[in-house]
Chains A and B, each alone.
Chain A
C-alpha cells in the first residue's frame, strides 16, 4: 500500500538521520557543519508534517515534539537540531493563530499586560481542524529552509562594513561562517589574519590553508601565544557552536581565552553566528572527552567553552548586527516560551 510505504520510508530516513547524528559528534570533531544539520532537520520535519497522520495542530505539535526529543537525545551537544524543532513548533502556532483569525499579538508570550487583560486562563489546546493548515505550515517551513540556505551569504554580505584595509584580524579554530565572511571582505580589501590553531584538533590549520588559497595573508599561532599577539590585533572575529539566551556563547575550547585577552586589550570581539544557532537554554553542561595518554594520567579535554556576554561586543547574524543584551528579544521572536523545554 502506498501509505504504508511512505511511512516506512519516513521512519527509515529518521533512523538514518539519528544514526548519523550520533556518529557526527564523536571522533575527531564534528564531521558535518551545523548549517547542514539545521537544513536536514528542517527537511525531515517537513517530511513528517507532510506524511504523518494528524488532524489538528495539537496532534502535529505532539508528533514534532516526540521526534524532536528523540533527535536531541541522539546528540545533546548539537543544539541546532533542538532549535529547528522549536522554530517549526512556533511556525505551527503562528499558522494556527492565523487560521483562527486572531492576530498574532494575542498569543504572544506572558507579559504583565496579558496578565491583566486576558479574559480567562488561556487553555489553547489547538484542537480545531483547519483545511489549509497543512499547506500553510509546509509553505512556512519552505520559507524557513530558504532562509537557512541563505544565512552564510547574508552574513558575508556585511563583511565590508566591519573590515577595513590594513587591519589585523584574529580568529580561532575553523568556522565556515567566518571563512566566508573574511573571503567576502578580501575581494575588495587587503588585511592580515592571525589564526589560533586551537589544539588538540588543530582545525586552525585547515582554516589558514583555505584563507591563504583566497589570497589573504594568514599567520598561524599556537594557543599559548594568543595573549602575546593580542596587542597587535585590531579586531577578533569568531564563530560559535551555540548562542545562549543570555547573550553568552558556547564555543570551541579556547574561545574564552581569546575573549579575555581581547577584553584586556580593549579589542572588539565580533561573533558571526546565524540565527539558527540561537538556543533558549542558559545553563549548559560541559561536554568532555577523556583521553588516557599515559596509563596513570587522566586527561580532561573539554570540547566547548562558555563565554559570558560581557566579553562580546557585537553579534553579526543573517538579520544584521545586534548587541548581546538584545539577544533575549530576538529569541522571543523566534521561539515560543512554552516550548523551551522539549
Chain B
C-alpha cells in the first residue's frame, strides 16, 4: 500500500505517505480494544520502517501513535473513538500538506536580492523555498553539492526549469566555495530534541565550514519531522537510520558500509524554519516537550 502511494506522488514526503497508510490501516482495522489497535499499528509501523528506513518515517509513525493515545484518552468508547480519530487524521493530513508552503512563506524573506545560496543534496522543501523566492522576483544564484553516493543531479535540473542559475559543486569543494556564498539553506530528514538535525551525509561538513566562515546556516523542515532522539555525537544516531533499508537486511557487518546520514549539532545552526514559525535551536525542545509530555 505504501509503495504504491510513494511511487504515485514523488512530491509527497515519506512521513506523510506513512501517515496516510496508517490512517488507511486504521479505517480497515478490526480490533476490539485500544490496546489491540495500538499493537497492530506498532507492527505496521515496523513493517513500514523495514521498507524505508528513513528518520522521517519513524517520526511520522511515532507522531501517529501519539495521536492515537491522545485521542483515546478523550473518548474511551472504541467505535466513537475511531470515528473521531479518522476525522482528525484527515484534518491532520490536510494541515501538514500545507506545511511546506508555510515554511516557504517564512523563509523566502531571508533571501535577499543578489544572494548566493549553497544547498546540499535534493530537498523538496528547499526547492519550494527557492521557488517562492524566485516568484517574488528576487535574483539569486544557487550552488548545489553533488551529494554522492546517490548524486542529487535532479535538484540542479529542477532549479534550471525555474530559470534559477545553478552550479553543481563537488562535495569536496564546499570549503573552496564557502567564501563566495552568502548563506546556506538545507532541508532535514529529522530534527532532534537538542535542536540539531539529521540529514544527508555531508551536511555536518557543510555546517562546520559555514561556521568557520561566519555564514548563516538555515534549516527548513516541517514540524512532523521532529523526532525524540538526543544524539550527543555521530555514533549516537541509531544504526537503523544510518543505512538504507535494503542494506540493513542484506549486509552482515555494518562496519563495512558507508552511512547515508549524519548529525549536525545545534551550535552550528543559526535558525530553523518550520510551519510552527521561525525557531532558534533551543526552541525545538520546547515544542517537542509540549507534544510528548
Contact = CB atoms under 8 A, between A and B. Distances in A.
B95 to A, nearest CB: 6
Contact of B277 (A110, A113, A115, A325): A110
B140 interface: no
B165 to A, nearest CB: 24
Nearest to A329: B286
B204 interface: no
Contacts of B288: 112
Contacts of B88: 116-117, 119
Interface residues of B, number: 30
A116 B66 contact: yes
A309 B269 CA distance: 13
B70 A117 contact: yes
B25 interface: no
A110 B95 CA distance: 12
Contact of B276 (A112, A120, A245, A329): A112
B292 to A, nearest CB: 9
Given A112-B290, A116-B67, A120-B91, A246 B280 contact: yes
B143 interface: no
Interface string B75-114: 0000000000000100110011000000000000110000
B280 A112 contact: no
Nearest to B267: A310
Nearest to A246: B280
Interface in A228-251: 245-247
B71 interface: yes
A109 interface: yes
Contact of A325 (B96, B224, B282, B287): B282
A113 B110 CA distance: 28
Given A246-B271, A247-B280, A115 B110 contact: no
A121 interface: yes
Contacts of B92: 115-116
A214 to B, nearest CB: 38
B158 to A, nearest CB: 27
A268 B57 CA distance: 44
A119 B271 CA distance: 31
A112 B271 contact: no
Interface in B235-287: 270-271, 275-280, 282-283, 286-287
A290 interface: no
Which range contains the number of A residues in contact with the other chain? 20 to 34
B63 interface: yes
A19 to B, nearest CB: 31
Given A112-B223, A116-B63, A246-B280, A283 B110 contact: yes
B278 A282 contact: yes
A327 B291 CA distance: 21
Given A115-B95, A116-B70, A117-B88, A328 B279 contact: yes
Nearest to B69: A116
B226 interface: yes
Contacts of A326: 282
A110 B282 contact: no
A309 B70 CA distance: 37
A309 B271 CA distance: 12
Q: Which 6 A/B pairs are nearest by Cβ-Cβ distance?
A: A112-B291, A325-B282, A328-B283, A116-B67, A111-B290, A113-B291
7 contacts: A109-B277, A111-B291, A112-B287, A113-B70, A283-B110, A309-B280, A325-B282
Given A109-B277, A111-B276, 13 more contacts: A112-B63, A112-B287, A116-B67, A116-B92, A117-B88, A246-B271, A246-B278, A282-B271, A283-B109, A326-B282, A328-B280, A328-B282, A337-B277
